[in-house]
Amino acid sequence: MAFSSSCFVSFLGFLFILNGVQAWSKEGHVMTCKIAQELLAPDAAHAVRMLLPDYVKGNLSALCVWPDQIRHWYRYRWTSPLHFIDTPDDACSFDYSRDCHDTHGGKDMCVAGAIRNFTTQLSHYHEGSSDRRYNMTEALLFVSHFMGDIHQPMHVGFTSDEGGNTIDLRWFRHKSNLHHVWDREIILTAAAQFFDKDMESLRKAIQANFTHGLWSDDVTSWKDCDDISACVNKYAKESIKLACKWGYKGVDAGETLSDDYFNSRMPIVMKRIAQGGVRLSMILNRVFGGSSSIEDALVAT
Ligand SMILES: *[C@@H]1O[C@H](CO)[C@@H](O)[C@H](O)[C@H]1NC(C)=O
Ligand SMILES: *[C@@H]1O[C@H](CO)[C@@H](O)[C@H](O)[C@H]1NC(C)=O
Ligand SMILES: *[C@@H]1O[C@H](CO)[C@@H](O)[C@H](O)[C@H]1NC(C)=O
Ligand SMILES: *[C@@H]1O[C@H](CO)[C@@H](O)[C@H](O)[C@H]1NC(C)=O
């Protein structure tokens, strides 16, 4: 009896995790990675193609959701805390040494630590092909995925509500939660309202807004980065600030969010997808860049 009920409890726990704690939706990750891949310089484009398994035919976005698919497998359970950061309730700030740990206090076990980790691993890509300590394909997929996650404001949310996961509410007419609104609902509603549900058109509209539109003057500053640790801290700080100012602001559990919330938050979601993609390309261009000049160094080695 004790055995079967604890099995049952862990089965429920498993379902809860699968349904409750998610990441930037498949759509968000696919757009981020596609934006990044189109901005790769030849050296980086080549390295990415070499690292991807043949069956995706060079399409990075086809595997950008892989870290979500494997995070509950026994072998990859250690990666589960790497998708987000829990910050103190209502502090609206991020402090790496205070916040970047798992629930057991394991240092660096958060999305900011993971990007540092896997970027450092990738920076050794050029140092010979045999006897590598790390799996470079996995490192590429993790960096690509986590650069999406760190830009999703609610992935750097408050601890007690699990980044909005426990704030149940309605999105227009169906049940959702605040985390999921930012992971997926806003993206799907934008695609439905403006692009006949076509994600490719949505992605192209985001791209147009940073190549020659709204954000074209900002792209250079988005890419500013001398040191990966400082940069991931900046991205996480941006996210928690946005989570406070736009995510949590004025939202009560149980309410219905609709047009007002959608119209005011959609521009932020779109900009974060653009920034995530542009910055992922910056990282990949630097770690896979042919030159070893000091300007290209991102991690102290
Ligand atoms: C790449 O993969 C994504 C995600 O699976 C898919 O939506 C897209 O159509 C693929 N692109 C190509 C050119 O196959
Ligand atoms: C870094 O990656 C290695 C595996 O390549 C893993 O064992 C370690 O836990 C990772 N740490 C973080 C913070 O991602
Ligand atoms: C690297 O990881 C991928 C994905 O888990 C796996 O398919 C591949 O076999 C690994 N490569 C090596 C050399 O272990
Ligand atoms: C692109 O920018 C225009 C304003 O110039 C804005 O109305 C539109 O919503 C933006 N599109 C996306 C997908 O961000």
Segments making up each domain of the chain, as ranges: 23-296
Residues with CB under 6 A from ligand 3: 135, 137-138
The tokens describing 78, both together, are 């250690």
| Residue identifier of the C-alpha nearest atom 2 of ligand 2 | 117
Q: How far apart are CA 94 and CA 182, in angstroms?
A: 19
- Residue 113 in contact with ligand 2 by CB distance below 6 A: yes
**141 Cα nearest atom in ligand 3:** 4
Average pLDDT of span 88-100: 98
Q: For residue 69, report the distance from its CA to the centre of ligand 1, in Å.
A: 17
How far, in Å, from the CA of 188 to the mean position of ligand 1? 17
Task: State percent of the chain over pLDDT 90.
Answer: 84
Q: Which tens digits make up the pLDDT trace of 95-135?
A: 999 999 999 999 999 999 999 999 999 998 887 654 568 99
Token pair for 123: 């920076």
Q: How far is CA 118 from its chain centroid?
A: 14
The Å distance, Cα 194 to ligand 1 centre, comes to 21
Mutate to test the pocket of ligand 2, among 70, 117, 143 (most ligand atoms within 8 A of CB): 117
CA of 59 to the centre of ligand 1 (A): 6
Q: Ligand 4 center to residue 192 CA distance, Å?
A: 15
Q: Which residues contact 289 (CB under 8 A, 6 or more apart)?
A: 41, 43, 44, 296
Residue 206 CA: which ligand 4 atom is closest?
Answer: 13
18-32, 40-54, 196-210, 223-237: least confident range: 18-32
Q: Which residues pair with 18 in a beta bridge?
A: none
Quick check: 22 and 69 in contact, CB under 8 A? no
CA 30 – ligand 1 centroid, Å: 8
Task: Answer for the pair 109, 275: CB distance below 8 angstroms, yes or no.
Answer: no
> Hey, CA dihedral for 68, 69, 74, 75, is it positive or negative?
negative
Q: What is the mean pLDDT of the chain?
A: 90
Nearest CA to ligand 2 atom 8: 117
Give the distance (Å) from ligand 1 centre to CA of residue 200. Answer: 9
Residue range 181-234, pLDDT digits in tens: 999 999 999 999 999 999 999 999 999 999 999 999 999 999 999 999 999 999
Contacts of 224 (CB under 8 A, 6+ apart): none
Give the pLDDT confidence of 229-272 residue by residue, as tens digits.
999 999 999 999 999 999 999 999 999 999 999 999 999 999 99
Residue 137 CA to ligand 3 centre (angstroms): 7
Whether the per-residue pLDDT at 34 is higher than 50: the answer is yes
Q: Which CATH number, 3.30.1330.120, 1.25.40.10, 1.10.575.10, 1.10.1200.10, labels domain 23-296? A: 1.10.575.10
Q: CA–CA separation, 115 vs 299, rounded Å? A: 11
Amino acid at 255: E
pTM: 0.91
Point out the ligand nearest to the CA of residue 57: 1
The reply to whether ligand 1 has any atom less than 6 angstroms from the CB of 61 is yes
Where residue 1 falls among pLDDT bands split at 50, 70, 90? very low
The Cα–Cα gap between 94 and 99 comes to 7
Instruction: Indicate which atom in ligand 1 lies nearest the CA of residue 199.
Output: 7
Distance CA 179, CA 291 (A): 41
Mutate to test the pocket of ligand 4, among 34, 214, 262 (most ligand atoms within 8 A of CB): 214
Provide the residue type at 40 as one letter. L
* β-strands 156-158, 174-177 pairing: unpaired
- Provide the β-strand partners of residue 175: 170
Q: Tokens in use for 218?
A: 């900002």
What does the DSSP assignment read for the chain? -HHHHHHHHHHHHHHHHHHHS--S-HHHHHHHHHHHHHT--HHHHHHHHHHS-GGGTT-GGGGTTHHHHHTTSGGGGGGGGGG-EEE-TTT----HHHH-B-TT--BT-SHHHHHHHHHHHHTTTTS-SSS-SS-HHHHHHHHHHHHHHHHSGGGEEETTTTTTTT-EEEETTEEEEHHHIIIIIHHHHHHHHHHTT-HHHHHHHHHHHHHSSTTTTTHHHHH--S-HHHHHHHHHHHHHHHIIIIIITT--TT-EE-HHHHHHHHHHHHHHHHHHHHHHHHHHHHHS-S---GGG--S--
Closest ligand 3 atom number to CA of residue 53? 7
